[in-house]
Amino acid sequence: MKKTSMNIPNTLSIIRCLLVPAFVATLLFMRDMGIWGFIVPALVYIITGLTDMLDGKIARKYNLVTDFGKFIDPLADKFMVLSSMIAILVWMLLRNQTTLAIVFVWVVLIILLRELGVTSLRLVVAGKSGIVVAASILGKIKTVSQMVGTVAIIVEPVFPMLIKHEIVSFVCDNHILSYVFMAVMAFTTLFSGLDYLKAYLPYIDSNK
């Protein structure tokens, strides 16, 4: 019986899958615990994001790419992105931030459609022509913007607690920082998705 390779990259992917429920739990159940209710889930999410950045780099650098890694890494990525977006949406609603949540719904929708579209494109192109749809620079920028934006949205309420200033209070109380990062997340996600379509759609024959 062939054993599943559990090298460092695969282990990091497994850890990422386990950290996602931890992030969701700390975000939702610690929301009334003052400053720690924002810092703890943000730290968990940062650690989760670091595993995403490290596993692929280690796998490529040390030639540790495995079939299991090809399966679990993208699965962990989608699990992290979609779960965190839905959790933040629920978190906003529980904190009675209805307007912010309504705007964020559109960001989540763009991210969801982009992930489904690119994943489907990868499968079809790889199946028909054997071409591996590699992550582009725009895709990496999208990932960074989502990670940074997610952390910024979570920790925005912390700034008025640490910095007693009228401008800081005005910006954070009106969620200006969150709106800015949501716009960046939506733009980079949409633009990177269109870039993938432009690059690989010609490989798909609509008559077959």
In the numeric block, which tokens belong to residue 198?
């432009």
The H or E element spanning position 24 is: helix 8-29
**Positive/negative CA dihedral, 184, 185, 191, 196:** positive
Per-residue 3-state assignment (H helix, E strand, C coil) for 136-205: CHHHHHHHHHHHHHHHHHHHCCHHHHHCCCHHHHHHHHCCHHHHHHHHHHHHHHHHHHHHHHHHHHHHCC
33 DSSP assignment = S
Give Cα 147 distance to the centre of its chain: 6
Domain extent, residue 140, equals: 8-203
Beta carbons of 163 and 85 less than 8 angstroms apart: no
Q: Tell me, yes or no, whether 2 lies in a domain.
A: no
- CATH code (residue 191): 1.20.120.1760
In the numeric block, which tokens belong to residue 196?
């993938």
Q: Tell me, yes or no, whether 208 lies in a domain.
A: no
Backbone angles phi, psi at 153, to 5 degrees: -65, -40
- Per-residue pLDDT tens, the chain, 208 aa: give them: 445 457 888 899 899 999 999 999 999 999 889 899 999 999 999 999 999 888 878 877 888 777 777 778 878 888 898 899 999 999 999 999 999 999 999 999 999 998 888 877 777 776 665 555 556 688 788 888 999 999 999 999 998 888 888 888 888 889 999 999 999 999 999 998 888 888 777 766 655 5
The H or E element spanning position 106 is: helix 98-129
Q: Tell me, yes or no, whether 123 lies in a domain.
A: yes
How many domains in the chain?
Answer: 1
Which residue, among 62, 79, 61, has the nearest Cα to 71 in the 3D structure?
79
Return d(Cα 80, Cα 90) in angstroms, integer: 15
